[in-house]
Amino acid sequence: MTERTTFFDTRLDYLKGLGPQRAELLNKELHLFTAGDLIQYYPFRYEDRTRFYTIAELMESMPSAQVRGRLRDWHTEGEGPKKRLVGSFTDGTGTMDLVWFQGLSWLEKTLRRDGEYVAFGKPQEFQGKFSIVHPELDAIRPEAEPEATLSPVYNLTEKLRRRFVDNKVMAKAMRSLLEQAWPHISETLPASLIEKFRLVGKREAVWNIHLPQSPAWLRQAERRLKFEELFYNQLRLIANKLIQKEEHPGQVFTKTALLAHFYKTMLPFPLTGAQQRVLREIHKDCLTGRQMNRLLQGDVGSGKTIVAFITMLLAIDNGAQACLMAPTEILADQHYNGLKPFADAMGLNLGILTGSTKTKRRRVLHDELLTGRMHILVGTHALLEDIVQFRNLGLCIIDEQHRFGVAQRAKMWAKNPVVPPHILVMTATPIPRTLAMTLYGNLDISIIDEMPAGRKPIKTVHKYDKHRAEVFGFMRQQIELGRQVYVVYPLIEESETLDYKDLTDGFEGMQRAFPQPQYQVGILHGKMDPYSKDYEMTRFAKGEVNILVATTVIEVGVNVPNASVMVIESAERFGLSQLHQLRGRVGRGSDQSYCVLMTGYKLSADTKLRLETMVRTNNGFEIADVDLQLRGPGDLAGTQQSGLMDLRLADLAKDGPVLTAARESAQIILETDPQLILPEHAPIRNHIDAIGRTQSDWSRIS
């Protein structure tokens, strides 16, 4: 082991300034075991101790303040739990009280009458006089100037504080650790990157993240460590992508006759520039002889399905089969019904396999797949079953991929053990660019950022419950024009009786407001059996139902171009992404469509921002950026991806430019020196080696 690795593996009880008891507390309470763990336990904020206030300058609105003065005297007041020690503190501009409720006997022994101190805490005013309860009190030595600093504040537990391990003790322990660690901290970034981005050195950054010399030094330390953290995150993802491309061959699709025939004679509408660009990127991947792994992002209604079909034609042209896997039966059915007219027109055999497929039909499908007579298979998780074998699977398209785990995708690749199929992952959930770079950094990314011609932007309005009569009037007006309406209720958990009652009450209220025979109102929710769901959905799709009262079961998988109004009840209970997905159920025809967000009056600041964002824009990527700021990357990514979100300092909602710079730097380095053998890349190589050798979590500093 290297000297550096040995030091950062040192257990806390062997470090100067800590001792066995405190080390044991840090083990149990914060899961910190080694020097490497402790040095990466960063403060979550800093208290500004750079300025001293006089008592005359204090205001109750101040979150905290520090005052230099003399402790003239003290006395105890009250009895029992209300017993307190009150000290009289003065600085020449006035007098204030310092109040303690705990540790009174110890304080009385240690306080010095007429001693000079710096008192720090939250000022409170009562009857014209200021006080600080449980101030931090530091004695000033004669002839010494008190230190003006930014003091680190660490996340500490109540048990640690009770055992006198507070921020002061942590800062003291950290100073001792940093002094011991100084000679062992090696540079982890190449000199070229440090120079290019004007980054401070690793040692200076680590010192100033804990004990900043000034606000400017703190900013430099944060910038350096965030860059490094994201650089190593991206280096790992890009290296994995390069290894994947190197290790996994892919079928070469050179023939394009079928594709050209469809494009020239059967394409029902001209492709947008974005669709054409994406198809060129896909075709280029399929000519390399390496497995394609591409993420296709496109907003609701941007035309991903036609891109998927044209990609399937490319595979079929070259003697391969294609499959499309969707997370739900509703979505699989929609894809099947959407692709069927195209497949029939091209004389291709298209099948569907879901949990509902009958045994007799399954046998036929399995036989047609093995003999190659089945060109395209659409399905759900049923495609993953071992019995489902292809003659030559060349392309696998996965829709709404965040609903499938890594193991499930790997099972799909194994369907062609000789040459794994090309993978195209599609999502209609716009992912902020910074999140996509981290979650899907090992995939190539294509974006359809253009809507088909003739699509009118959906007009969105926010209405309070008192406007219900006005909204009903608007719905009647639209129905008279021959349009249809969705009314969605927030059934968040199928077991929540309150939500279920909301839906049934809403349905009954809608039937009263829109009575038969003039109006037909349908209902759709997750508790209904598949037959009833299909029946209701078919009636709505055929135009036999004017208003469909539903839960979020219609969030995906429903395509009714004649539905032009989406009313979302209790819109404050939905997240931005869900509101955007629901709105995407309308606006699918040439008529002007509308989305009405209904809420109560008590709305939080975050809820107001969500609703304002929905009213302001239809752009899914803009909405996703706001969602990222509101919810944070962990919530958006979900538990499957939580490991990738484990960043100590960087914040994907705020540090987009740093992430972009870090990714581009990692890309250039791996393209020019994939093995990291050049002398200038020694710091990266050494750091990766140290991570591999050390048992501690020191790697997390990057």
Identify the H or E element spanning 150.
Answer: strand 149-153
Structure tokens at 359: 């045994």
For residue 687, the Cα-to-chain-centroid distance in whole angstroms is: 28
Q: Quote the CA–CA distance of 618 and 308 in Å, as a whole number.
A: 24
What is residue 436's predicted lDDT score, i.e. its pLDDT?
Answer: 75
- Structure-model confidence comparison of residues 293 and 531, the more confident one: 293
Q: Quote the CA–CA distance of 169 and 342 in Å, as a whole number.
A: 71
Q: Provide the total of helices (H) and of strands (E) in the chain, helices listed first.
A: 25, 22
- Residue 636, classed as helix, strand or coil, is helix
Least confident of 280-294, 313-327, 361-375, 417-431: 417-431
Structure tokens at 49: 């101790």
Strands 115-121 and 136-139: antiparallel
Least confident of 4-8, 34-38, 322-326, 671-675: 4-8
What is residue 187's predicted lDDT score, i.e. its pLDDT?
Answer: 95
- Dihedral sign for Cα 75, 78, 82, 88, please: negative
Identify the residue whose tokens are 């109540």. 158
- Listed residue (688, 659, 670) closest to 231, CA to CA: 659
Q: Which are the contacts of 623, defined by CB distance < 8 A and separation ≥ 6?
A: 430, 576, 577, 580, 613, 614, 617
Tell me 93's DSSP state. Answer: S
| Cα 618–Cα 629–Cα 433 angle in degrees, nearest 5 | 65
Q: DSSP string of 443-497?
A: SEEEEE--PPTTPPPPEEEEEEGGGHHHHHHHHHHHHHTT-EEEEE----STT-H
Q: What mean pLDDT comes out for the span 373-396? A: 93
Q: Which are the contacts of 674, defined by CB distance < 8 A and separation ≥ 6?
A: 239, 242
| Cα 633–Cα 639–Cα 643 angle in degrees, nearest 5 | 70
3-state DSSP of 52-72: CECHHHCCCCCCCEEEEEEEE
Report how far apart, in Å, the C-alpha atoms of 205 and of each of 172, 201, 223 are: 18, 6, 9
Mean pLDDT (the chain) is 86
- Residue 597, classed as helix, strand or coil, is strand
What is residue 643's predicted lDDT score, i.e. its pLDDT?
Answer: 44
Q: What mean pLDDT comes out for the span 655-670? A: 91
In contact, 426 and 300? CB cutoff 8 Å:
no
What is residue 702's predicted lDDT score, i.e. its pLDDT?
Answer: 27
What is residue 162's predicted lDDT score, i.e. its pLDDT?
Answer: 82
In contact, 282 and 311? CB cutoff 8 Å:
yes
- Residue 318, classed as helix, strand or coil, is coil
Backbone angles phi, psi at 581, to 5 degrees: -65, -45
- Listed residue (179, 206, 221, 218) closest to 50, CA to CA: 218
Tell me 381's DSSP state. Answer: G
Percent of the chain at pLDDT > 70 equals 91
Strands 422-427 and 350-353: unpaired
Is residue 281 classed exposed, middle or buried when 0-12, 13-18 and 19+ CB atoms within 10 A define those classes? middle
pTM equals 0.69
3-state DSSP of 262-273: HHHHCCCCCCCH
Question: Over the stretch 106-152, which tens digit does the pLDDT of each residue have?
Answer: 888 889 998 899 999 999 998 889 999 989 888 887 655 556 678 89
What is residue 144's predicted lDDT score, i.e. its pLDDT?
Answer: 55
Reply yes or no: is the peptide bond before residue 517 cis, omega within 30 of 0: yes
Q: Quote the CA–CA distance of 441 and 235 in Å, as a whole number.
A: 9
Report how far apart, in Å, the C-alpha atoms of 321 and of each of 325, 391, 396 are: 14, 8, 9
Identify the residue whose tokens are 């090696």. 186
Neighbours of 464 (CB within 10 A): 12
Q: What mean pLDDT comes out for the span 623-642? A: 64
Residue 617 reports pLDDT greater than 50: yes
Residue 638 reports pLDDT greater than 60: no
